[in-house]
Amino acid sequence: MATPRRAGHVEGILGSYRWEAFLARAPVSYGLDTATLYKGSGRIVRLALYARLPGTRLWRKVAAYHRGWLFGRRRYLDVLRRVVDEIEAVG
């Protein structure tokens, strides 16, 4: 479930993953395209996906988008698709 924290910042939990994103007010050229999950015209300018380290209370960043994918897109594509859909539903 997505929770707005402050202007442009949303976060949530999806199954065993935690995520946070920063949104622009309008689509920008470096935003995440929600149809392709690549850099394009979109409102999501930063997205981080975290997974819990087994046996601890710590979270590890497993995917990161910041004006382009830094890492993790291919491996966590299904989870990222659901996160992006959830962010779009929030508006």
- What distance in Å separates the CA atoms of residue 91 and residue 17, rounded to the nearest whole number? 21
**pLDDT over 60 (residue 2):** no
How many whole angstroms separate alpha carbon 38 and alpha carbon 53?
A: 27
pLDDT for the residue 91: 64
Average pLDDT over residues 73-89: 93
Q: How confident is the model at residue 74 (pLDDT cuts 50, 70, 90)?
A: very high
Whether 89 has a pLDDT exceeding 60, the answer reads: yes
The whole-angstrom separation of Cα 12 and Cα 55 is 21
Reported pTM: 0.88
